[in-house]
Structure 1
Amino acid sequence: MYQKIEASTCHVASRKMVSNFAMKNENHLDEMIRLAFDIEHDLHIKAFWSLDLVCEKKLKQFAAYIEDFCIILPKIKDASALRPATKIAFFLTKSNHRKNGISLTQEQEHNLIEALLDRLIQDEKVASKVYAMKALFVLGKKYDWVHNELKMIISQDYSNHSAAYQAATRNLLKKLNK
């Protein structure tokens, strides 16, 4: 697994090959996740690139690692790892909201909320912020105060960002104001 991750690139075909390899074998997936969560390791970024594809296809395989993910999410510094990590957070919150999805504990939900709100107020790239917004929107369906916080943060931040961020914010504000 290590060699596959090391040889991978950010291209979709490469990431898919690594994620498919990991999904076929529990030990490979475990190795990928341990590497992704080791934020001091040079390859943790590449591991996250493929891990978000695993979570998109087979989120239940990630269920045993949610507690560790909630701990590592606020510690991720690199923007290239943060985008797939916030995307995974979005997948988790979306699944948690579904009937037969993954169940997050209240503590895990609160840890995700805190980490994602922090990402919104920090100087992060647009994709990470958009996934954080989407995840917070879903969590706000259970915790009303989250929608209020989210609305306040994205409204204040609106003019300081790119057109892509502003478009995502407008769409979300429409949903929040319904």
Structure 2
Amino acid sequence: MTTETLYKELNYVNHSREKRMYYAQMVINNSSLIPKLIEILMQVDDKVSPRAAWVLEFVCKDNLNVIIPYLDLFTTNMHRVKKEQAVRPVAKICEYLANAYFSKTENKIKDALTQTHKERIVEVAFEYMICDYKVAPKAYSMTTLYLFGKEFNWIHPELAIILERDFYKESAAFKARARHILKKIKA
């Protein structure tokens, strides 16, 4: 399948779990579609970009290892994604990567995630925290930053400052996650 054909197919993706799962399974069954999916996701001003992000999130949720050969491509370009509908899945994928990297069980992400990948993920997570995004990307980024703060000792103090600063002006969902993360940082 060409990038153009995949692009046309993504026009049929909507918010329903069924459609996202259908197209995610199509990509999982043909991993050569992953770089094409990322390429479409990185067409950041295009209306189909968020749809590619939704599908990639479902692909990664089902089988995170399929993104390993494309970690450079994904992490190099993810900072370009600015549309709210695409930012949320990108933040979620970063959280999946952080959770896998810090998992107690052995997995391939631990070997595949380089120092550069981690630095890029941390950078974009901080961007999501300090810029005007909705709660979901911020919540995923809090977890991502908390986890990488176990490895980079400068992250927890910076994250705590942001969480405490924004605590009273954010939503109840933000406050709940922030309280949880601050408690872990101080422990």
Relative to the length of structure 2, the TM-score reads 0.90
Contact 2:94 2:121 in 1 (8 A): yes
The correspondence for 1:20, drawn from 16, 21, 25, is: 25
Equivalent AA in structure 2 for residue 34 of structure 1: E
Q: In structure 1, what is the equivalent of residue 153 of structure 2?
A: 144
- What is the distance in 2 between the residues matched to 1:111 and 1:142? 14
The reply on whether 1:71 has 2:82 as its aligned counterpart is no
Is the aligned partner of 1:51 residue 2:60?
Answer: no
Matches within 5 A, 1:1-178: 1-98=6-103, 99-102=106-109, 103-178=112-187
Counterparts of 1:65 and 1:38, CA distance in 2: 16
CA distance in 1, matches of 2:88, 2:24: 16
Structure 2: which 5+ runs fail to align? 1-5
Q: Offset at 1:4? A: 2.7
* Count of matched residue pairs: 178
Of the structure 1 ranges 45-54 and 91-100, higher mean CA displacement relative to structure 2 is found in: 91-100
Q: Distance in 2 between matches of 1:120 and 1:129?
A: 5
Runs of 4+ in 1 over 4 A off after TM superposition: none
Taking the aligned partners of 1:168 and 1:39, their CA distance within structure 2 comes to 28
Deviations 1:140-172 (A, max 9, x none): 111111111111111111001011111111111
Matched residue of 1:144: which SS?
A: coil
Q: AA paired with 2:98?
A: T
State the Cα distance separating 1:28 from its structure 2 match: 2.8
Per-residue Cα deviation, 1:27-52 (whole angstroms, up to 9, x for no partner): 33332222112223321110101110
Unaligned runs of 5+ in 1: none
Amino acid at match of 1:128: P
